């Protein structure tokens, strides 16, 4: 088979887990880029980088981080770019880079990201500002390649639902109710799921936590594993207290051949898709479903010319257990198949959750897996926001049968039914799904609720009333009648 010289190929991936800490994000990205070039077997590749695309950073603000990385690796790119926040952005960047390389608009693309969050938080607690790179206003801000994910609907703001750690547990309750499990049964089940992820992390040399955690250890609150928001303990949350960086190098087959990059290092992006679910949580058709994952995931496989059974390796974005379960359900894969675990890294709890950049690590790890098993297929899924924006990539060591193909399937998603969000609703409503947030001492302090209104809409509400919070902790709440105030608080009407 004669390859089109413009065929995009992933030739190197570099990762770093910097346990010593102290280095700024652009240093970690540059380090990861050198490692990616080492994996490709070509130091010359970095000099030829014509586009540097950086995943949005939270540890430090730069006007154009790609320019700083380029200077450190000896590149003079024609283009630099940056993304807004969102865990789907690394896969979106790969999809776009592959498309642009195929079209001749780019030739060697560096994608990278990093977080020095543990250092940043330690210094902040000590009142110290790190002496990291500062670009003055003479440096133009890098173009935004992927915009921010909307995460503040009126419905969520009124209820005070302002972070993933509060909303993903609500999705988890919806999953539990749909499965017909008791609270204890479901907590045990997600403990088992996460225990399997911890096992994979022990095989990942770049994982932040490299020891097996039992299901009981994960599901049971303890001094080292406190409640965050029911049913999630700390070990069911993404771990962002890390110092991690990752970088990917993609180029054309023509350039890979010219540089003498070994054919066994080539990993071909087969297909890429993107879509988003309704940004307003209250407007979603169901709290335990994702039409965007369903359509975009299926289309990624179709574009690659394969089915689910052809996938040997899968990495499902794993910020919380509910994210994995919803994605697995929509894709049609089992969550408990030991022959095909749903992570190649160990997931964001154990491998590490460097904010927006996890999937760069996942793609690098997937490429390593595929090189070790030539001819097999791998799927990477990535997620932004509250199960909001999704991106998919299929990879293989052989070229795609029809060349790399990318598609946005938003039209199909937008035709799916939604629910009327009622951000100003006040009056009686029926409890649908909920969570209880705990303080650092392990005491329940606040309840959040998704509720259906008499007219078929949905609203979100919260409570700090001790009796109401106690009921959420102790009793099955689905179907209970609540009274919601104009301010977005609720109390139970029936006990």
Tell me: pLDDT of 149 over 90.
no
Tell me: pLDDT of 337 over 90.
yes
- pLDDT of 336 reads 95
Residue 150 pLDDT level (bands cut at 50, 70, 90): confident
Segment 455-469, tens digit of pLDDT: 999 999 999 999 999
Question: In which element (H, E) is residue 416 found?
Answer: none
Residue 54 pLDDT level (bands cut at 50, 70, 90): very high
Residue 23 pLDDT level (bands cut at 50, 70, 90): very high
| CATH number of the 427-492 domain | 2.40.50.840
| DSSP codes, 180-244 | T--HHHHHHHHHHHHHHHHHHHTT-TT-S--S---HHHHHS-BTTB-EEETTEEGGGS-----EE
347 with 213: CB under 8 angstroms?
Answer: no
140 with 63: CB under 8 angstroms?
Answer: yes
What CA–CA distance (Å, rounded) separates 189 from 185? 6
Tell me: pLDDT of 218 over 90.
yes
- pLDDT of 475 reads 87
Average pLDDT for the chain: 98
352 with 286: CB under 8 angstroms?
Answer: no
Q: State in Å, rounded, how far the first CA of the chain is from the last one.
A: 70
pTM score: 0.98
pLDDT cut 70: percent of the chain above it:
100
- pLDDT of 151 reads 84
39 with 12: CB under 8 angstroms?
Answer: yes
Segment 369-417, tens digit of pLDDT: 999 999 999 999 999 999 999 999 999 999 999 999 999 999 999 999 9
Mean pLDDT, residues 69-80: 98
Tell me: pLDDT of 315 over 70.
yes
Q: Beta strand 51-54 with 108-116: parallel, antiparallel or unpaired?
A: parallel
| CATH number of the 8-150+240-414 domain | 3.40.47.10
Angle (CA) 426 428 431, round 5°: 110
- pLDDT of 495 reads 61
Mean pLDDT, residues 32-40: 99
Q: Determine whether 437 is exposed, middle or buried from the number of CB atoms within 10 Å of its CB (0-12, 13-18, 19+).
A: buried
Tokens at 122, concatenated: 């330690």
- For the chain, domain boundaries: 8-150+240-414, 162-236, 427-492
Coil, strand or helix: which one is 265? helix
Tokens at 283, concatenated: 């407007």
């Amino acid at each position: 088979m004669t390859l089109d010289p413009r065929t995009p190929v992933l030739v190197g991936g570099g990762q770093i887990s910097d346990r010593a800490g102290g280095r700024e994000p652009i240093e970690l990205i540059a380090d990861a880029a050198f490692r990616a070039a080492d994996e490709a077997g070509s130091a010359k590749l970095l000099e030829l980088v014509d586009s540097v695309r950086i995943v949005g950073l939270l540890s430090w603000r730069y006007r154009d981080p790609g320019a700083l990385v380029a200077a450190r690796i000896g590149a003079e790119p024609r283009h630099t770019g940056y993304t807004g926040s969102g865990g789907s952005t690394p896969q979106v960047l790969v999809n776009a880079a592959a498309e642009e390389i195929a079209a001749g608009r780019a030739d060697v693309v560096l994608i990278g990201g990093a977080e020095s969050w543990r250092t940043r938080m330690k210094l902040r607690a000590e009142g110290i500002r790190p002496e990291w790179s500062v670009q003055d206003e003479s440096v133009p801000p890098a173009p935004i390649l992927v915009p921010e994910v909307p995460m503040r609907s009126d419905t969520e703001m009124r209820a005070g639902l302002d972070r993933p750690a509060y909303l993903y547990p609500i999705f988890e309750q919806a999953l539990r109710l749909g499965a017909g499990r008791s609270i204890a049964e479901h907590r045990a089940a997600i403990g088992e799921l996460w225990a399997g992820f911890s096992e994979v992390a022990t095989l990942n040399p770049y994982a932040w936590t490299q020891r097996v955690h039992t299901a009981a250890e994960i599901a049971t609150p303890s001094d080292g594993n406190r409640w965050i928001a029911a049913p999630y303990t700390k070990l069911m949350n993404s771990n962002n207290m890390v110092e991690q960086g990752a970088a990917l190098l993609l180029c054309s087959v023509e350039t890979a051949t010219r540089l003498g990059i070994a054919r066994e290092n080539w990993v071909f992006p087969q297909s890429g898709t993107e879509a988003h679910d309704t940004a307003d949580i209250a407007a979603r058709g169901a709290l335990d479903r994702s039409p965007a994952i369903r359509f975009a995931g299926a289309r990624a496989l179709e574009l690659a010319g394969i089915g689910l059974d052809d996938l040997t390796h899968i990495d499902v974005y794993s910020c919380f257990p509910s994210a994995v379960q919803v994605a697995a359900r929509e894709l049609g894969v089992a969550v408990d198949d030991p022959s095909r675990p749903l992570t190649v890294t160990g997931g964001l709890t154990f491998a590490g959750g460097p904010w927006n950049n996890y999937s760069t690590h996942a793609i690098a790890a997937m490429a390593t897996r595929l090189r070790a098993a030539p001819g097999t297929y791998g799927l990477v899924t990535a997620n932004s926001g509250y199960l909001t924006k999704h991106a998919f990539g299929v990879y293989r060591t052989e070229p795609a049968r029809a060349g790399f193909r990318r598609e946005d399937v938003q039209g199909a998603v937008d035709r799916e039914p939604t629910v009327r969000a009622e951000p100003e609703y006040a009056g009686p409503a029926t409890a649908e799904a909920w969570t209880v947030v705990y303080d650092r001492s392990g005491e329940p302090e606040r309840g959040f609720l998704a509720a259906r209104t008499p007219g078929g809409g949905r609203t979100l509400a919260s409570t700090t009333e001790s009796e109401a919070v106690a009921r959420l902790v102790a009793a099955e709440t689905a179907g209970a009648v609540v009274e919601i105030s104009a301010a977005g608080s609720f109390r139970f009407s029936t006990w």
